[in-house]
């Protein structure tokens, strides 16, 4: 007697999904990958920035931060749609380390990598995945930034979807209130399987002044998500933009 074969699994749909328009869901295969590298003992940061900018592997876009908590620290934020592009760009950093090895050190514990993602409710999916995070990171009126990873505890993922949505909504409303006042903009990245410490998200808060960014994190500590379902936060990188550049074609895609 022939045994009944189990049904073949349906292929997984890996596209990002946004809110429906005229009854049709928005879908996209595009997303941005961000990567933050942090260095110490940068005795001549301007020389290092110029070296990377003139290098054969010079990134099409980058942000250089002075490190608030390290007078000789330097952060380098890279971004690309193709993660292989990040690896290509990082060759400039590798070349920099070879050239300036006596006066620079790499801090691997501060490296953060993440990708933009959708929740299924975004009214403009392409803007959310590409334009908004780029514009936030590159906004000349937002020189301050705080970057940090986080991981939720397993209990959060056992909640019903509606309950998770309610909890995340409280967090989101707080962020939107700061954005409405022009105090802060956030860059939310997923890093499942991308982080060496098993973090799940990387958050970038950018704004015109540092205090509101710190205050937003303080206020978020009181939300249900943070008090009950966040397992770990940090390390935190706090930086002020020293230099930024971008190929304008990235914003036109």
Q: Supply the pTM of this predicted model.
A: 0.91
Alpha carbon distances (Å) from 236 to 30, 86, 147, 186: 28, 22, 6, 15
Q: Could you give the angle at which helices 161-180 and 210-220 cross, rounded to 10 degrees?
A: 160
Complete DSSP assignment for 170-211: HHHHHHHHHHHTTS-EEEEEE-TTT-TT---EEEEEEES-HH
pLDDT at 1: 55
The pLDDT of residue 59 is 74
Q: What is the pLDDT of residue 196?
A: 94
pLDDT exceeds cutoff 60 at 253: no
Tell me which residue has tokens 């056992």. Answer: 158
Taken in order of first residue, the domains within the chain and their CATH numbers are 33-113+243-247 (3.30.70.100), 126-239 (3.30.70.1030)
The 10s digit of each residue's pLDDT in 17-32 is 999 998 888 999 999 9
Residue 102 confidence (pLDDT)? 75
Q: From start to end of 6-161, where are the E strands?
A: 16-21, 24-28, 33-40, 61-67, 74-80, 105-106, 112-115, 144-152
Q: Is the pLDDT of residue 177 over 60?
A: yes
Structure confidence by residue, pLDDT tens digits, 107-131: 999 999 999 999 988 999 999 999 9
Mean pLDDT of 36-47: 88
Q: pLDDT value at position 65?
A: 97
């Amino acid at each position: 007697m022939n045994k009944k074969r189990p049904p073949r699994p349906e292929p997984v749909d890996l596209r990002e999904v946004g809110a429906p328009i005229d009854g049709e869901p928005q879908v996209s295969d595009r997303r941005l990958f961000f990567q933050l590298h942090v260095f110490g003992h940068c005795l001549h940061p301007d020389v290092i920035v110029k070296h990377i900018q003139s290098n054969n592997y010079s990134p099409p876009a980058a942000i250089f931060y002075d490190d608030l908590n390290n007078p000789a620290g330097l952060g380098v934020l890279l971004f690309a749609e193709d993660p292989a592009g990040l690896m290509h760009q990082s060759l400039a950093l590798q070349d920099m380390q070879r050239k300036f090895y006596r006066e620079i050190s790499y801090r691997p514990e501060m490296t953060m990598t993440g990708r933009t993602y959708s929740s299924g409710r975004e009214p403009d999916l392409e803007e959310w995945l590409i334009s908004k995070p780029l514009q936030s990171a590159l906004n000349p009126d937002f020189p301050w930034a705080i970057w940090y990873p986080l991981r939720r505890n397993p209990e959060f993922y056992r909640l019903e979807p509606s309950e998770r949505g309610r909890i995340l909504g409280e967090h989101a409303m707080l962020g939107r209130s700061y954005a409405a006042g022009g105090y802060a903009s956030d860059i939310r990245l997923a890093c499942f399987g991308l982080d060496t410490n098993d973090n799940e998200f990387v958050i970038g808060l950018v704004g015109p002044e540092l205090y509101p960014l710190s205050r937003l994190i303080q206020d978020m500590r009181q939300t249900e998500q943070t008090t009950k379902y966040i397992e770990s936060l940090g390390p935190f990188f706090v930086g002020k933009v020293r230099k930024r550049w971008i190929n304008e074609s990235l914003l036109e895609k």
